[in-house]
């Protein structure tokens, strides 16, 4: 297991033993005091905010895909392409760098929120 990119943690909702169903004395308990069974652990993949930013620097939405937000990544890419298309009417000179910056900041903030166990599903987490 790669300890830099993952962390073992107890499920926050696990207030009851999965084996006997009794309520646990402590949410951090490793063994059920009633039946003696070792409580299950889950692995949460962590995301590097720096890698998310670097990926978004090269391709719109790639940082979001790295964060596991596939639909959001595709949307960022499509909007980026539309911004490039708008270069023909001159407003693209403002839209392209602005959308590029928003995508990088969103990838960074989303990775931080994912690592903290917070909701990062908003389209723009700036």
Mean local confidence (pLDDT), 9-16: 49
Residue 73, pLDDT > 90, answer yes
Cα–Cα distance for residue pair 114/5, rounded to 1 Å: 12
Q: In the prediction, which pLDDT does 46 show? A: 86
Q: Is the pLDDT of residue 82 over 60?
A: yes
CA dist., res. 63 & res. 106, Å (int): 9
What's the alpha-carbon Rg for the chain, to the nearest Å? 20
Percent with pLDDT over 90 in the chain: 42
pLDDT higher than 70, residue 4: no
Strand-pairing partners, residue 8, are: 43
Top-confidence residue, 17 or 113: 113
Q: Which helix (H) or strand (E) holds 6?
A: strand 6-9
C-alpha closest to that of 99 among 86, 112, 110, 118:
86
pLDDT over threshold 90, residue 45: no
Tell me the percentage of the chain whose pLDDT exceeds 70.
80
């Amino acid at each position: 297991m790669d300890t830099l990119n993952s962390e073992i943690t107890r499920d926050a909702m696990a207030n009851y033993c999965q084996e006997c169903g009794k309520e646990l004395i402590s949410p951090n308990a490793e063994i059920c005091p009633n039946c003696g069974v070792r409580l299950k652990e889950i692995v949460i993949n962590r995301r590097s905010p720096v890698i998310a930013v670097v990926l978004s620097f090269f391709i719109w939405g790639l940082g979001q895909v790295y964060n596991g937000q596939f639909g959001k990544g595709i949307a960022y890419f499509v909007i980026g392409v539309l911004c490039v298309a708008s270069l023909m009417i001159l407003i693209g000179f403002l839209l392209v760098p602005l959308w590029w910056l928003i995508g990088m900041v969103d990838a960074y903030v989303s990775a931080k929120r994912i690592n903290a166990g917070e909701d990062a599903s908003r389209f723009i987490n700036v």
